[in-house]
Structure 1
Amino acid sequence: MSAQGNGAFLEYHESDIVSILTLISFFFFLAVSAWVADKVLRAGLIGQIIVGLIYGVPIGNILALKWQETLLALGYIGLIIIIFEGGLTIRLDLLWQNLFLSTSAALLGVLTPIALTFALFYAGFGYAPLKAFITRVGTVLISAAILDDVCDLVLVSVISQLRDIENANLGWVIGRPILASGLMAILTPLAAKFFGHVANMVLMVLVLCAFLAIAAYARASVLFGAFLAGTVVSSLPSKQHVHFDEPSDTTDHDDVAKQERPTFGDIFDRYIQDAQRFILQPCFFPSIGFSIPFIELWTGEVIWKGIAFTILMVLGKLVVGLVIPLWDLVANKKPDPSEKALLTPSAKPNWVPAAFLGTAMVARGEIGLLIIQIGLNETPYLSRKAFVIAVWAIVLNTVIGPVSVGTLLNRFGSAVAGDRRWGIQAMNPRRQSQQEA
């Protein structure tokens, strides 16, 4: 297609049949590969990454380069919406109830892999130091995973700023995105408290765009801005649409108000989720596949180092499960003999929720692959070999985590849910009364 005259409009032409069939096959295999990988590996994103490898530059280069660039942009929007949805759907009341425990788990899950990675890459592999860089247990897991991802999003902005290190102070280059992210995290709940009144679909989009712009200009991660935008929107009251066509008592009015007051989650599900689930999100994972040097993955040195790194990454996340028995020990939450008699044999040991928490924290690939892509393409500190080793480890962790969690849930899911300490917990009474009001 070419612009007509001075570029005032774009000429419309039918796409050629080869391009049409190529795109149809691309999206078809995206759906099929995600379904197969989810059934076999419990990780549908692996199938979509493989399709990206085949259709992209690394293997087949079937899609035109302009299409790959377009899908990369659409995929990044999909990632932004995924993270926005995470902030939108988080249960802040349950997070606050388990904040200390969740923070402890998140810090353990962040610092342990960093320490093990530094030890392996610096001491073991010889790389330079900068290259080394609604049950209660379910609530702790989600909160810890969110805090863990927040740390990852801050790292995205820190790593992307390292490209300017030659002309700036190292402390400021690293500290600026951390400071900006911290200020945004502190000011966000205050803004939600004092300025949250009437909201709708337009407001939700405006808040997201505003936070993306603030994060970008503050040199924080736009993904972190998307998460904070979701938390702000989730704390705003939805606009009430009530129609009183006929006289009725107050109780009827209240019932109508409750029925006709859509939450932001409802708005997201109705207007955004389908586009995000079937178009934007499937574009993100193959765009990661476009950027993986597939041929370089298959050397003996890279494979064994990738497996060794995988083991350390898994161990670094499994230790998060230790917070559960330690918490029981410190808080003296162990059941007395009469309680033990009421528990089923599978529910007695606290290693079950501990194992569930540890395995569920094993890394998925979205943020990890994004971070190493930024480290490789935008900084001089990550070599190609270290990059492909990290790709191996992240992909293997993405398979190991879901498979382990699925196995534990199939065998011990009811035991975890029925556990008196780590099973289903009641909603905060104040929160419940607010929702009923």
Structure 2
Amino acid sequence: MKSASTDSASAYYLPYHEPAIITILALTSFFLLLNIVSYTLDLLVYCGLVGQIALGVAWGTPGGDFINTETQQTFIQLGYLGLLLMVYEGGLATSFQALKNNLFLSAAIAATGIAFPMGLSFLIIEFSNATPLAAFAAGAALCSTSLGTAFAILGSSGFSQTKVGILLSSAAMMDDIAGLIMVQVISNLDGDSFKVVTVLRPVFVSVGIIVGVALVCRFVIFYLTVWLNKKRHQYPESILNKLCAKKEFVFCVHTLILIGLITGTTYAGASSLTASYLAGASISWWDNEVPHAIIPQGERLSEDNGARQNQENLSDNFQSDVSCHDSPSFTDSPTSHICTIEVSDGNIHIDNEITGVFIFETYYFQVLNKILRPLFFASVGFSIPIAQMFSGRLIWRGLIYALLMAVSKLVCGLWLIRGKSSSPNLRNSSYYAAPLLGLSMVPRGEIGFLISSLAESKGIFSNGNSIVGASSDVYIIVTWAVVLCTIVGPVCVGLIVRRIKKIESSFQVCPLGIWGAF
């Protein structure tokens, strides 16, 4: 009778139970090690995400199974929220001015980084039981570039604002957009059949949404902002002006843009990750490309204590102009943001005081950096069949495929090679710039793991002869390639950067030549 009443109560609420000490210890050690290992590996070889994936393997079902299945499922869902925020972060870091100045070369590099992995992936049919559809899915997984790894490399090397840095970040973003479209393509594929409309629909929907958002920003948001600026200048004491000066209000607007785009794009049939990137990029465009209000000096610029404190901290450092510019990667510091204060004619022009980057760092950064991002990479580890990866017949196949996929990205550096020149600066610039760019494109990271996991769960990698409960051979081969590229790529880049820095300090000349110009 008691059991029946308990079951009846459970239908209306979830009874609270104190977790066992084993559960507490497992979760505590899991979260602590996720952050400790990530910090250590990022410091040494720029690949903290690999450590988090390894911890997911060790603590999850493939390894010790210290975390129960229900909790792992919850972590997967929370980790996907982290992935959405990571892509949104990449959108916020988009520099449209740099993108416009190097658009054609960046597009050529990005197209090379997509076409070669897709083409070479069909060679996997020769040394595995892969079908053409499986080869396509493998190429989709390996055509992306780890945006987080690229930004980490640029930030730690100091090459963020150089020409090679701008080309790398722009090409990596384009490759990631292609990868995000591939996520939806793979999600719609069926392991037993292939329809052209299945591939074309998310592609055209994604392109349509990108074009639509661009048109709305240019012809609606731009002129709406100009109109609002006039109203704010005419009525500086209005509620509208006070609201726009509050970071809490801006946070709500940015969050609504993010959630609204994700919801609409998902229902339209495109990837929610594409929507996350577009939300961040559109906010970055608004911050940097749209004129903002000029408020008369002496007016109350903001009632927010944080904004006033930020202005006071900056006031000691400027005479007539103050500028502080952050690099495209803002994950290393939770306090950096872009701002420009100009004093002239009795007016104070505050440009981008409360930017998308500032809002992200104030409200999202800590929870993403310490919890959601680690959970995403750990959740990737939950799905890696580590015990099956070390089968002798699959290791050599994985190594060969990883080598092919590394070469497919290395060729991107060929775009920086110039012909013979009488100028030593031009002649030597390709020696380091080309491999630096090519190797920086090699890490696949989160998008590669995501696409391969989706393809495996959809049965695309399986040929129908796989053992029930076991991972397919193609999935293991692709996993080897993603893991090795993500680990080896940053290590090789670190060695090149160290060599460049050594030459620069010894000879007072940048070995990157024209590609190292700011």
Give the direction of change, closer, same or farther, for the CA distance of 1:11–1:191 in structure 2 (3 Å limit): same
- What corresponds to 2:491 in structure 1? 403
Give the direction of change, closer, same or farther, for the CA distance of 1:385–1:416 in structure 2 (3 Å limit): farther
Q: Does the Cα contact within 8 Å between 1:53 and 1:294 map onto a contact in 2?
A: yes
Cα distance in 1 for residues equivalent to 2:460 and 2:162: 44
- What corresponds to 2:100 in structure 1? 96
Cα distance in 2 for residues equivalent to 1:110 and 1:406: 24
1:21-420 paired onto structure 2 within 5 Å: 21-118=25-122, 120-133=123-136, 134-163=161-190, 166=193, 170-196=195-221, 197=225, 200-237=250-287, 251=344, 254-255=347-348, 257-258=349-350, 261-325=353-417, 328-329=418-419, 336-337=422-423, 340=424, 343=425, 348-382=428-462, 384-413=472-501, 414=504, 419-420=512-513
Give the direction of change, closer, same or farther, for the CA distance of 1:247–1:204 in structure 2 (3 Å limit): closer
Cα distance in 1 for residues equivalent to 2:257 and 2:7: 35
- What corresponds to 1:434 in structure 2? none
Give the direction of change, closer, same or farther, for the CA distance of 1:7–1:40 in structure 2 (3 Å limit): same
Give the direction of change, closer, same or farther, for the CA distance of 1:283–1:3 in structure 2 (3 Å limit): farther
Cα distance in 2 for residues equivalent to 1:91 and 1:32: 31
Question: Structure 2: which amino acid aligns with 1:385?
Answer: D
Question: Structure 2: which amino acid aligns with 1:312?
Answer: L
Give the direction of change, closer, same or farther, for the CA distance of 1:250–1:299 in structure 2 (3 Å limit): closer
- What corresponds to 1:431 in structure 2? none
Give the direction of change, closer, same or farther, for the CA distance of 1:253–1:16 in structure 2 (3 Å limit): farther
SS at match of 2:350: helix
Cα distance in 2 for residues equivalent to 1:272 and 1:19: 28
Cα distance in 1 for residues equivalent to 2:126 and 2:346: 69
| CA RMSD of superposed structures (Å) | 2.8
Q: Does the Cα contact within 8 Å between 2:294 and 2:350 map onto a contact in 1?
A: no
Cα shift at 1:184: 1.1
Question: Structure 2: which amino acid aligns with 1:94?
Answer: A
Give the direction of change, closer, same or farther, for the CA distance of 1:123–1:18 in structure 2 (3 Å limit): closer
Question: Structure 1: which amino acid aligns with 2:499?
Answer: R
Cα distance in 2 for residues equivalent to 1:187 and 1:273: 29
Give the direction of change, closer, same or farther, for the CA distance of 1:297–1:76 in structure 2 (3 Å limit): same
Name the % identity. 33
Q: Does the Cα contact within 8 Å between 2:129 and 2:473 map onto a contact in 1?
A: no
Cα distance in 2 for residues equivalent to 1:12 and 1:242: 54
Q: Does the Cα contact within 8 Å between 2:92 and 2:283 map onto a contact in 1?
A: yes
Give the direction of change, closer, same or farther, for the CA distance of 1:252–1:261 in structure 2 (3 Å limit): farther
Q: Does the Cα contact within 8 Å between 2:117 and 2:409 map onto a contact in 1?
A: yes
Give the direction of change, closer, same or farther, for the CA distance of 1:144–1:95 in structure 2 (3 Å limit): same
Cα shift at 1:245: 5.0
Q: Does the Cα contact within 8 Å between 1:180 and 1:219 map onto a contact in 2?
A: yes
Cα distance in 1 for residues equivalent to 2:10 and 2:474: 48
Q: Does the Cα contact within 8 Å between 2:191 and 2:460 map onto a contact in 1?
A: no
Q: Does the Cα contact within 8 Å between 1:208 and 1:226 map onto a contact in 2?
A: yes
Cα distance in 1 for residues equivalent to 2:47 and 2:8: 47
Q: Does the Cα contact within 8 Å between 2:432 and 2:512 map onto a contact in 1?
A: no
Is residue 23 of structure 2 the alignment partner of residue 19 of structure 1? Answer: yes
Question: Structure 2: which amino acid aligns with 1:368?
Answer: G
Cα distance in 2 for residues equivalent to 1:109 and 1:265: 28
Q: Does the Cα contact within 8 Å between 1:30 and 1:47 map onto a contact in 2?
A: yes
Q: Does the Cα contact within 8 Å between 2:429 and 2:512 map onto a contact in 1?
A: no
Flag structure 2 segments of 5+ consecutive residues without an equivalent. Answer: 1-5, 137-160, 226-243, 302-341, 464-471
Cα shift at 1:185: 1.3
Give the direction of change, closer, same or farther, for the CA distance of 1:85–1:376 in structure 2 (3 Å limit): same
Cα shift at 1:419: 4.4
Cα distance in 1 for residues equivalent to 2:359 and 2:500: 35
CA-to-partner distance for each residue in 1:284-321, whole Å, 9 max, x for gaps? 11100101111110111110000001110111010000
SS at match of 2:190: helix
Question: Structure 1: which amino acid aligns with 2:279?
Answer: A
Question: Structure 2: which amino acid aligns with 1:390?
Answer: V
CA-to-partner distance for each residue in 1:217-265, whole Å, 9 max, x for gaps? 122111111111111111224986969656999837643x427831111
Cα shift at 1:8: 5.2
Cα distance in 1 for residues equivalent to 2:217 and 2:257: 11
Cα shift at 1:96: 1.0
Cα shift at 1:418: 6.8
Q: Does the Cα contact within 8 Å between 1:121 and 1:132 map onto a contact in 2?
A: yes
- What corresponds to 2:337 in structure 1? none
SS at match of 2:344: helix
**Bigger Cα displacement from structure 2, 306-315 vs 244-253:** 244-253
Cα shift at 1:365: 2.1
Q: Does the Cα contact within 8 Å between 2:72 and 2:379 map onto a contact in 1?
A: yes
Cα distance in 2 for residues equivalent to 1:271 and 1:164: 41
Cα distance in 2 for residues equivalent to 1:3 and 1:258: 60
TM-score by length of 2: 0.73
Give the direction of change, closer, same or farther, for the CA distance of 1:21–1:125 in structure 2 (3 Å limit): closer
Question: Structure 2: which amino acid aligns with 1:132?
Answer: A
Cα distance in 2 for residues equivalent to 1:209 and 1:140: 30
Give the direction of change, closer, same or farther, for the CA distance of 1:335–1:378 in structure 2 (3 Å limit): same
Give the direction of change, closer, same or farther, for the CA distance of 1:66–1:258 in structure 2 (3 Å limit): same
Give the direction of change, closer, same or farther, for the CA distance of 1:186–1:247 in structure 2 (3 Å limit): closer
Cα shift at 1:211: 1.4
Cα shift at 1:39: 4.5
Cα distance in 2 for residues equivalent to 1:294 and 1:157: 26
Cα distance in 2 for residues equivalent to 1:219 and 1:228: 15
Cα distance in 2 for residues equivalent to 1:81 and 1:247: 33
Q: Does the Cα contact within 8 Å between 1:136 and 1:424 map onto a contact in 2?
A: yes
Cα shift at 1:135: 0.9
